[in-house]
Amino acid sequence: MQGFAEPAPVSVEVPPGPHLDDLTLVVRAQEGDVRAFEALARRHQAALYRLASRVMGDHAEAEDALQEALLDAWRRIDRFRGDSAFSTWMYRVVTNRCLAMLRKRRPLPVEDVEDGTPAPDSPERSAEADASMAALGTALQGLGDDLRICWVLREMEGLGYTEIAEITGASEDAVRGRIHRARTRLAEVMRAWR
């Protein structure tokens, strides 16, 4: 290293791998270790993408939400204090990104929503299964955003009421209410498919 060359990454460090716990990777990322952040992001991206996909109901938008949320996380990693699990914090960051995108989304005219129902195009038996899944997906998108987010965190991600309350900033009672209302609504819609 001579002259005024920009500092180059030194390549003798051990790549942070699966043997490092989240907290260790977070502390390293907070100190500017990009590879530690990358390891964290890779570890959690699948769960975060699942959440975004179900909340947004659209893979392209889910990709955008995930990408922006991961950048939010990198830029704000200093604010993570370890009061909750890193996964809880990340779910919150993604949820906030999704809500911001949903608020910007222009409401579709009713006829477009109807047209948007996926039409299954497969042999009869699996078509029925695919169609009921598609119907559940459509019913899910028909729920209010807060109901859908709570339901997805509970039923798709398997989280408890306390953690969902932490992620959404709602009280535990409100979370219980939202999940039950979402369940009831979905059950009602899906009764026709039983």
Partner 1 sequence: MAVDPILDGGTSIDEVALEPLACGRDAAVVWDRAEAGTPPDAHERDCPHCTAVRADAAGLSSLVHRMAAEDIDPPPSVMERVMGAVMSELRPHDVLQLESPHGANRLGRPAAAGVLRGVVDRMDGLRARSCRIEQVPDRFDADVTITVTARFGVDLASVTARVRQMVLAAGEQTLGVPVRRVDISVVDIWGEP
Selected binder of partner 1 within 57, 120, 156, 172 (CB under 8 A): 156
**With binding defined as CB under 8 A, does residue 57 bind partner 1?**
no
Selected binder of partner 1 within 53, 55, 165, 166 (CB under 8 A): 53
**136-155 binders of partner 1 (CB under 8 A):** 136-137, 144-147, 155
- Closest residue by Cα to residue 74 from 59, 85, 62, 86: 86
**With binding defined as CB under 8 A, does residue 8 bind partner 1?**
yes
Nearest approach, Cβ of residue 5 and partner 1 (Å): 8
Residues 6+ apart with CB under 8 A from 153: 51, 91, 159, 163, 164, 167, 168
Nearest approach, Cβ of residue 116 and partner 1 (Å): 18
* 123 contacts 161 by C-beta, under 8 angstroms: no
**With binding defined as CB under 8 A, does residue 107 bind partner 1?**
no
Nearest approach, Cβ of residue 37 and partner 1 (Å): 7
Spatial separation of the C-alpha atoms in residues 13 and 59, rounded to whole Å: 36
Nearest approach, Cβ of residue 88 and partner 1 (Å): 19
Candidate ranges 61-69, 81-89, 103-111, 115-123; the one touching partner 1 (CB under 8 A)? 61-69
* φ, ψ of residue 45 in degrees (nearest 5): -65, -35
Q: How far are the Cα atoms of 61, 88, 116, 118 from residue 142, in angstroms, in the given order? A: 17, 26, 12, 14
**With binding defined as CB under 8 A, does residue 34 bind partner 1?**
yes
CA 154 from centre of chain: 12
Candidate ranges 3-11, 81-89, 92-100, 109-117; the one touching partner 1 (CB under 8 A)? 3-11
**With binding defined as CB under 8 A, does residue 185 bind partner 1?**
yes
**With binding defined as CB under 8 A, does residue 27 bind partner 1?**
yes
Selected binder of partner 1 within 7, 18, 109, 123 (CB under 8 A): 7
Residues 6+ apart with CB under 8 A from 92: 166, 167, 168, 169
Residue 55 corresponds to which amino acid? V
